[in-house]
Amino acid sequence: MTTEAYAVDVDNVVKRFGKQTALDGVSLRVRRGEVYGLLGPNGAGKTTLIRSFVGLVAPEKGTVTVLGRRMPQLEVLAHVGYMTQQAALYPDLSAEENVYFFGAINGRVDGVREALEFVDLWDRRKSVVSTLSGGMRTRCSLACALVHKPDLLLLDEPTVGVDPQLRVQLWDGFRKMAAGGTSIVVSSHVMDEAERCDRLGLIRFGKLLAEGTVAEIKAKAAVDRLEDAFLKLSEASPA
C-alpha cells in the first residue's frame, strides 16, 4: 500500500448538489509524505473535495484514488484519518474515551496516549468533552483523527479556534508526521498557514485555480504575497 507515488489522486471530479456545482472538474495529486494545503474562500468546495476522498461524496464524473485504491473502498479507510470541520465528538464521553473509540473502529487502540499527548490533552484525558473549551474540543477531535496512525490525514480547517501558541505547536507536529511519511491534506482560508504547506491547491467555485509550491504560485501570479496571488488568479479565471 505504501508503494503508490500519490496518497490522493483526483481526476476530473464533478459533483453537483441540485443546481449548485460544488466540484467542477477538479484534478489534483497529493504526494506521499507532503503537507498539501487546500486554500480557498468559504463555499469554494474544499469540504466537498475532502469528503470525496473518504467516499462520503460520490462524484458524478471522474475518479478519486486514495492510497492506491479507487474510492469508494471501505478497507482503505482504516489508513485514513479524517477530522471534520465541526468537532465531531461524543459529548458524554471523556476525551480519552472518545479517542479510544475512534481508534477502536479503525482497528488500532495502541496510539491513544500518543494522540492525546500530541494535542496536549493528556492531562485532561479524564474530562468529559462537554466540559472542555472549544479549542480543546478541536484538539480532541484532531486526536481522534490520528489515533490509528493513518497514512493519510485529512484535516478540514483544523486550527479554527486554536490559540496561536498551540497552532504553532500543532503545525510542528504536522511537519513531524509528514517527515515520518504521513501525507496530510489541510484545508484552510488562513494565508499564513498556507505558507507552511509543501504544496498548495487554490480552489474557488469548485475549480482548481492553481497548484504548486508557495514560491511557484507567487511566481505564476507575479506577486510577492500569497494573498495577492490568490486574488489575481481568481480574477484571471472568473466563475
Enumerate the β-bridge partners of residue 13: 26
Q: Would you say 80 or 202 has its CB closer to another protein?
A: 80
Q: Provide, rounded to whole angstroms, the least separation between the CB of residue 99 and another protein.
A: 12
181 binds another protein (CB under 8 A): no
Contacting another protein within 130-159 (CB under 8 A) = 144
Using CB under 8 A, which of the segments 31-39, 76-84, 181-189, 221-229 binds another protein?
Answer: 76-84
Q: Provide, rounded to whole angstroms, the least separation between the CB of residue 82 and another protein.
A: 4
**Please, which residues have CB within 8 angstroms of residue 42's CB and are 6 or more apart in sequence?**
189
89 binds another protein (CB under 8 A): yes
Dig out the grid coordinates for 77 from the structure.
Answer: 479507510
Report angle CA 55, 60, 150 to the nearest 5 degrees.
20
90 binds another protein (CB under 8 A): yes
The Cβ of residue 2 has, within 10 Å, a number of other Cβ atoms equal to 11
48 binds another protein (CB under 8 A): no
Question: Do 183 and 196 touch, CB atoms closer than 8 A?
Answer: no
With CB under 8 A as the contact rule, the residue among 8, 10, 87, 214 that binds another protein is: 87
41 binds another protein (CB under 8 A): no
- What residue spans of the chain are helical by DSSP H? 46-53, 95-105, 112-118, 134-146, 164-179, 191-194, 214-221, 226-236
Residues that bind another protein (CB under 8 A): 51, 54-56, 58, 74-75, 77-78, 80, 82, 84, 86-91, 102, 105-107, 144
